Amino acid sequence: MITVQNLQKSYNSQLILRNLSFQVKTGEFIAIMGPSGSGKTTLLNTMSTLDTFNAGKVLIDGSDITVMKQAERRLLRRDKIAFIFQHYNLLDTFTVKENIYLPFTLAGKVTPELDERFQKLAEKLKIAPLIDKFPAELSGGEKQRIAATRAFLGNPKVLFADEPTGALDTRSATAMLEILAELNQVMGTTLLMVTHDGRAASFANRVIFMVDGVIVNEFYRGDKQQSDFFDEIAEVSHRLGAIESAGIS
Ligand SMILES: Nc1ncnc2c1ncn2[C@@H]1O[C@H](COP(=O)(O)OP(=O)(O)OP(=O)(O)O)[C@@H](O)[C@H]1O
């Protein structure tokens, strides 16, 4: 359902993504790992229409985002894609509930069904006591749960998450990962998650490792126990860390 073909992206004439290709099937949960600066966020941003790229192709649900007009990309983001960023992207002058509802208010899509879905998610993500507060009154973990509620509320087909557990303590991180896994399994949402954390990655079905703008390794969880998958991820991360510090890529 997502095809990335020979993707190239440069910043200031430095090539960050080097002819990168891979495919994502509908309903997959993929973790993208790799050393700092390897291009993980750049990959997520370019393949999700948030940033442009220099060459290559990205097809989402059969539509080539390269040839889409700005308005078509906006509709794709509104109707099919959601994002969770490490830095929440909440607006300070709006309450929690206003922040969560903002995309739906702007699109004129606030319905009783949406309210019902919101109530259920608010209960699940334990944000009900927070909904009339302002972002400045919340902890990092609370802000992240608000950002997640906003992302889940639209029932997206694809969710792009950049370090969604980066600012969370262990307990909140586990809760977030369990909700992401549930969204993936129950709603069939396709998930792409950038993470440094092997434990977070062990919730995925497939882990892709990037070094210096290319995919150097990928493997599937299959029917392995999560703890065995975690060991495998830790071993590959360790090996790639050693490769990086030896300056080989
Ligand atoms: N807007 C930008 N302008 C210039 N260079 C950029 C920009 N964004 C990223 N880069 C550079 O591109 C490279 C890849 O950055 P990217 O954020 O994709 O890496 P990453 O693997 O996500 O890193 P980290 O794990 O540290 O978040 C880095 O060298 C970074 O400095």
Domain membership of residue 131 (yes or no) is: yes
Question: Alpha helix (H) ranges present in the chain?
Answer: 40-47, 70-79, 96-106, 112-124, 140-153, 170-187, 198-201, 226-245
**Is residue 78 a contact partner of residue 157, using CB atoms and an 8 Å limit?**
no
Domain membership of residue 57 (yes or no) is: no
ipTM: 0.97
Determine the structural domain holding residue 114 and report its residue range: 2-12+27-40+70-246
- We report the CATH number of the domain holding residue 83 as 3.40.50.300
CB burial of residue 113 (10 Å; 0-12, 13-18, 19+) = exposed
Domain membership of residue 45 (yes or no) is: no
Measured from the CA of 39, which atom of ligand 1 is nearest? 18
- Cα of 47 to ligand 1 centre, how many Å? 15
Domain membership of residue 143 (yes or no) is: yes
Measured from the CA of 43, which atom of ligand 1 is nearest? 18
Smallest CA separation from ligand 1 atom 9, residue: 42
Measured from the CA of 12, which atom of ligand 1 is nearest? 4
Residue ranges in the chain modelled with pLDDT below 50: 247-249
Domain membership of residue 173 (yes or no) is: yes
Question: For residue 75, what are its two tokens?
Answer: 């509709």
Question: pLDDT per residue over 205-228, tens digit each?
Answer: 999 999 999 999 999 999 999 999
**pLDDT score at 248:** 41
**pLDDT score at 249:** 40
DSSP β-ladder status, 55-60 and 2-11 = antiparallel
Measured between alpha carbons, how far is 56 from 73 in angstroms, rounded to an integer?
A: 17
**Is residue 86 a contact partner of residue 40, using CB atoms and an 8 Å limit?**
no
Question: pLDDT per residue over 2-37, tens digit each?
Answer: 999 999 999 999 999 999 999 999 999 999 999 999
Domain membership of residue 53 (yes or no) is: no
Q: At which residue do the structure tokens 């065995």 appear? A: 228
Q: Which residues form the pocket of ligand 1, taking CB atoms under 6 Å from any ligand atom?
A: 11-12, 16, 34, 36-42
- Cα of 38 to ligand 1 centre, how many Å? 7
- Cα of 44 to ligand 1 centre, how many Å? 11
Q: At which residue do the structure tokens 């990092």 appear? A: 140
Cβ partners under 8 Å of residue 141, min gap 6: 167, 168, 169, 172
Best of 8, 33, 40, 51 for a ligand 1 pocket test (most atoms within 8 Å of beta carbon): 40
Q: In a 3-state reduction of DSSP, which class is residue 210?
A: strand
Domain membership of residue 204 (yes or no) is: yes
- Cα of 16 to ligand 1 centre, how many Å? 8
- Cα distances from 209 to residues 32, 80, 82, 137, 193, in angstroms, run 6, 26, 23, 37, 12
Smallest CA separation from ligand 1 atom 4, residue: 11
Measured from the CA of 194, which atom of ligand 1 is nearest? 22
**Is residue 83 a contact partner of residue 148, using CB atoms and an 8 Å limit?**
no
**pLDDT score at 183:** 85
Domain membership of residue 140 (yes or no) is: yes
Measured from the CA of 38, which atom of ligand 1 is nearest? 21
Smallest CA separation from ligand 1 atom 18, residue: 39
Structural domain count of the chain: 1
- Cα of 43 to ligand 1 centre, how many Å? 10
